[in-house]
Every structure is written in C-alpha cells, then in structure tokens.
Amino acid sequence: MPNLFILTLQLAVVLAVCRVVGELFRRIHQPRVVGEMFAGIMLGPSLLGWLAPGVEAYLFPPSSLGFLNALSQVGIIVFMFLVGLGINPKELKKQGHAAVLTSHVSITAPFVLAAFLALYLYPRLSDDSVSFSSFALFMGAAMSITAFPVLARILAERNMLGSRLGTVAIACAAVDDVTGWCILAYIVVLIRAEHSSTSIWMTVGGIAVFALAMIHGVRRLLRGFERVYREKGGLSENLMALMVLLVLASSLLTEYLGIHLLFGAFLMGAIMPKEHRFVRYILDRFETITVTLLLPLFFAFTGLRTNIGLVKGPQMWLYCGLIILVAAVGKLGGSTLASWLSGMPIREAAGLGTLMNTRGLMELVILNIGLDIGVISPALFSMMVVMALFTTFMTTPLLRMICAKELDASSEMILSKAGNAAVELSDVA
Amino acid sequence: MSHTNRNFLIAYILLVGIPLVALVGILRAGRSLPAPISIDGVWKLEAVSQGPPAQPCGKFAADLSNSSLSISQSGKSLALAFGNALKSSSSGWLEGTSLNASVSPADTASACDGEVMITSVVDPKTEPRSLEGSITIKDCASCRPILFHAVRQARHSTGGTR
C-alpha cells in the first residue's frame, strides 16, 4: 500500500515546483514545459539531493517511487495518445520534396553521427550486457527525435504556425517522431528478445499483424467516434470511456507483444480521425489533467533518475559535450543543409534546423525507456538528459537570433492554419 | 525526369542513401568493440572469513561483508549502494575483471572514521555472475581483511536493473 501522506505531499511539491519554475522560464521567453523539465531535475539527486539529502530522502523515499512512476506512466500513456492524435501524415504530403528531404535528412544525419559517436562511447559508457548494435541504434534514435509538441508550442508562441517555416517544421517533426518510434520499437524488441525465449521473428510478426490490423481495421471503426461527434456535437461519457479502454487495450497489446506500452498509445492516437474539431474536442477532455498533474510527475520521476553527479571528472564532461555537439550538429546542421539544398533561403533553413533540434519531452520519454530496458547506463542517461535540456533550451534564443525578420512578419500575420492539429498540441506541451 | 526531380534524387542519395550505407558500416565495425563486463545489479554479499569486529571500523566492515550491494554501472565507473541498515554508498572503478571501491562510513551511524577499501574480482564465466574479494580497513595494520563472496541476484523482467 502506498503511504498516502507521502504520495499526496509528493504530488503537491511536484506540482508547486513545476508551476513556479515553469512560470519563471516563461518570463525568459522559454516554453513552460522546458521549465517543468528543469524543475524535475531540481527535485532529484542533482540538486535537492545534493543540497539537502535529508529532505530528498524524506520526500522521495525509494519505497514510494514505484507509485510515483505508475502515476507518471499513466500520464505518459495519455500524452503519447495525444501526440499520436496530433500527427497528421497528410501535412507532409502538402509540403512536397523540400519537406520529404528535410525530414529524412533530419533523421539520418543525427542517427549516423550518433552511431559514429557510439563507436567511441560504447567501450567507455556501456557494458557487455548490451550489444553494440542496440547501443548504437538507441543512440541514433534518441538523437534523431524531435519534440513535436514542444516544437508546436514554440511555433504557436512565436506566431509562426501559419508560416512556411512553421508548417514544414511541423510536418518534418511528425515524420521524425513516427520514424524514431518505429526504430525504438525495433530496438526494444531486439533487446527484449535477448532476454526472452520467444523468437524475434514471432515478436516482429505479431507486431506487424497488430499494426496492420490497427491501420486497416480498427482505424475504420474509429471513424464512428467522429461520426457520433458530428451528429451529436459531442461524445457521451460511455464513448469517452470506450476510447480510453481502446487506448489501454492497444497499450497492453504492444506491451504483451514485446515492445512498450507507449507504442500502443501512440499508434491508437495516430490512427484516430483527424478532423480538426473532433481532435480539439478530444484534446480538451484529456489535456488539462495530463498537462497540469501527470506530466509534472513524469518530469519529477525523470529528475529523480537523473544524477548529474554521475557525470564527474573532465572526461565524463567531455563525453557529455560530445553528445550535445553531435546531437546539435546532426539535427540542426542536417536539417539546415537539406532545406537549403531544397531551395529554402539560408536564414529560413537555419530556422528550420533550429526548430528540428528541439527534443524536449519526447527525448525524456525515449531516454526513460532506454534506461528501463538497460540499453543505456545511468551516467549516459544523465548526459542525454542534459543534452535534451540544452538543445530544447537553445531553440528559442537561437530562433530569435536567426529569424528575427520572419518573427516580426509572422506576428502580424493572421493565422489561417486553425485547422492544423499542431495548434491543439501546442497546449499539450 | 524533370530537372527538379533529378536534383531531388541526387540530394536524396547524397544525404540519405550514403549515410545509411555508412550506418551499416559503423554497425559492422562496432561488433568487434570490447565493452567492460557487466556487473550492474544487486549482489548478495556473504563473509567467508571473520575480521576484527571489536573495533568500530571492524564492525562496519563486517556489516558490509554481510549486506546486499547494489551496483549501478556506467562503463568502468560504478556507483555502489549497500543495503540493509548500512545505507552507505560509494563510487568505484572496474578495470578488466577487478573491482575497486572505497567506502567512507563517516556519514553513517558507525563510529568508524576510517576508510574501508573493497577489492574484488568478477568471475565472468559463472551465471549468475559472482565476485570474490576482500574488505580492508585503511590505515589499520593490525586489522585482517574480511574475505567475502557475492552472487548477482536475478534481474528484472524488463531486461535491465538500471
């Protein structure tokens, strides 16, 4: 049984710290979610545990972390469903060659550079329980991800959602996330297969059948939700409960099949109908509790697992610096180069590269999975969290520097992209 | 094929196709890379010889040798946490199959103010992995080392204990 007093105290402290730090970050023109990520780190061994170990030990005793984790995972399941809901593959098609090339390069460039860096890091930060392939592929997937919701939030706050830069960035980020999650699913299967008696081909086959059934079968049935919404202007509580049940069932199936709960939630969101008002309606019902309560718990749980103290000595900080450099060069440089070669003006291309370099919350989700399955070590996890914070934090000031003119122009623009699902997802972040 | 499409194809091959080929090469090259042996996880320690429990540090060392040890591994760098009532933690280093760590009991309830050294050797061939080692009290010439044996406990089903 959880100690309800401690659990309630944890909820209160996490909520208060996340709100305060989030607000402080807003004042320095950063998205609130970046502040909340920092707040999570502050509550962990990196700051609170370092300054006041007694307070941290009282607030977050090891025996209570299981309950905190369970609550935060429920939040992430809902969040991944909402991320999937906001992704609309049709957006990419509208953008043409430039977006296709940029999105693919923004995955391959950081991926290959990360794999190259893995040659150096594997003997230093991993061990023989993890194969090099798993390690390198995970590093690649973790570095090639873009935080679609945080990106949407930054664009919304800068009034750039309707600009060409904004729409291309959103489309590319959506492709990056879908690709990144597919690669991650493969890595999870690979690693779990090493510890399981079930053949990897059985697992892959099961997942393929599940994905096909979802995309070609369940997707059609889900249109019923939208139809009811159109006819009645809303969904009954029973239908909302059914939707939640479907998300949970999908999550459980992917977990059973050997990947992760979150893939099922993401896939269920991705195959939901994408009509703007329907998406808005669903988001309205889920996002408040997710954003205000459950996501801060995830940040706190991530912060409790992040120990910057493990990154000690100049050598470890060199590794951390290399990770940040490779992540930024791969993502920012790769996206900039590809969009510039596709005909975008260099300033706009650099702006797109900067936006694609935003990793934020999605990176934390992936890193937590990596730590859970043992593919990354605690020190590497901490370094990657630092990288995620750094690359997310640098986006807004860099964007202001590079795209000052575009920002001025877009602030005067009336946003005509009300139908863009990213508008809604910006609230989620 | 139009001029635009041809340029797109060339750019795609250069920026996506070639890096993917490079990725295959990297994955192949990495297969032969050695990594430190895995000692991550929870270990159950058992003393196989008695030390000098009369002294505060001797008592502390004896307690260590009969506790559980949680090792969090990041390559060669180790973070150690002792279980039971000790609640003591330290950092260590892995070199090949040799584990070296020092535990300072200053923050614990123990009256020992010295430094306790742990040296051990991992047997990578046994499954579950085992450790053979000794706990010595630094700056205590008269204290005999306590020999211990440790076995790694079963890992969680998620595939890792980290």
Q: Which of 3.30.70.1520, 3.40.50.720, 1.10.1780.10, 2.40.128.120 is the CATH number of B41-152?
A: 2.40.128.120
Distances (CA, A) of B24 to A137, B17, B30: 11, 11, 10
Q: How far apart are CA A253 and CA A263, in angstroms?
A: 10
Contact residues, A window 279-308, toward B, CB-based 8 Å cutoff: 307
Is pLDDT above 70 for A407?
A: no
In contact, B52 and B142? CB cutoff 8 Å = yes
Q: What is the pLDDT of residue A412?
A: 44
pLDDT band at B111 (very low <50, low <70, confident <90, very high): low
Band of pLDDT at residue B51, cut at 50, 70 and 90: low
Mean pLDDT rounded to a whole number for chain B: 79
Question: How close, in Å, is residue A421 to chain B by CA atoms?
Answer: 28
Give the predicted TM-score (pTM) of the model.
Answer: 0.84
Tell me which residue has tokens 């003393």. Answer: B47
3-state secondary structure of B130: strand
Is pLDDT at B129 greater than 50 in this prediction?
yes
Amino acid at A306: T
> Considering only CA atoms, which of A125, A143, A213 is closest in space to residue A183?
A143
b/e code A337-370 from CB counts within 10 Å (16+ = b): bbbbbbebeeebbbbbbbbbbbbbbbbbbbbbbb
Which residues of B are less than 8 Å from A192 in CB distance?
159
Burial degree of A157 (CB within 10 A; 0-12, 13-18, 19+)? middle
- What is the DSSP code (8-state) at residue A333? I
In chain A, what residues touch B36 (CB-CB under 8 Å)? 123, 126-128
For an interface test with B, which of A127, A128, A372 has the most B Cβ atoms less than 10 Å from its Cβ? A127
pLDDT of A429 reads 47
Determine contact, residues A49/A305, Cβ cutoff 8 Å.
no
Residue A288 corresponds to which amino acid?
A: T
How much is the average pLDDT of A143-149?
A: 83
Confidence of residue A179 (pLDDT cuts 50, 70, 90): confident
AA identity, residue B15:
L
DSSP, collapsed to helix, strand or coil, labels residue B148 as strand
Confidence of residue A161 (pLDDT cuts 50, 70, 90): low
Spatial separation of the C-alpha atoms in residues B162 and B160, rounded to whole Å: 6
Task: For chain B, list residues whose CB is within 8 angstroms of any CB belonging to chain A.
Answer: 4-5, 8, 11-12, 15-16, 19-20, 22-23, 26-27, 29-31, 33-40, 72-77, 79, 155, 157-162
Predicted pLDDT at B2: 74
Average confidence score pLDDT of chain A: 86
ipTM topping 0.85: no
> If phi over 0 gives left and psi between -120 and 50 gives alpha, with beta otherwise, what is residue A414?
beta
Residue B158: predicted pLDDT: 43
Any chain B CB within 8 A of the CB of A314? no
Asked if pLDDT for residue A88 goes beyond 80, the answer is: no
3-state secondary structure of B128: coil
Q: Note which residues in 337-366 of chain A have CB less than 8 A from chain B.
A: 337-338, 341-342
B104 in Cβ contact with B115 (< 8 Å): yes
Reading the block at residue A375, the tokens are 């593919």
Contact A338 B15 (CB under 8 A): yes
CATH number of the domain at A271, please.
1.20.1530.20
Q: Select from A133, A192, A374 the Cβ nearest to the Cβ of B27.
A: A133
pLDDT the model gives residue A416: 37
Nearest to A84 by CA among A247, A313, A216: A247
In this structure, what are the phi and psi dihedrals at residue A321, rounded to the nearest 5 degrees? -60, -40
pLDDT the model gives residue A240: 95
> SS3 of B32, please?
coil
The range of the structural domain enclosing residue A92 comes to 4-428
List CB contacts of A267: < 8 A, sequence separation 6 or more.
A84, A211, A214, A250, A254
Q: How confident is the model at residue A287 (pLDDT cuts 50, 70, 90)?
A: confident
What pLDDT digit, counting tens, does each position of A333-378 carry?
A: 999 999 898 888 899 899 989 989 988 888 898 999 999 888 999 9
Are A246 and A268 within 8 A, CB to CB? yes
H/E element holding A172?
helix A164-194
Q: In terms of residues, how long is chain A?
A: 429
Domain boundaries, chain B: 1-33, 41-152
Measure the CA–CA gap between A418 and A162, rounded to whole angstroms: 9
Strand partners, B151: B44, B130
Total structural domains within chain A: 1
Q: Give strand pairing partners of B149.
A: B46, B132
B39 φ/ψ angles, rounded to the nearest 5 degrees: -130, 15
Q: How far apart are CA B138 and CA A52, in angstroms?
A: 29
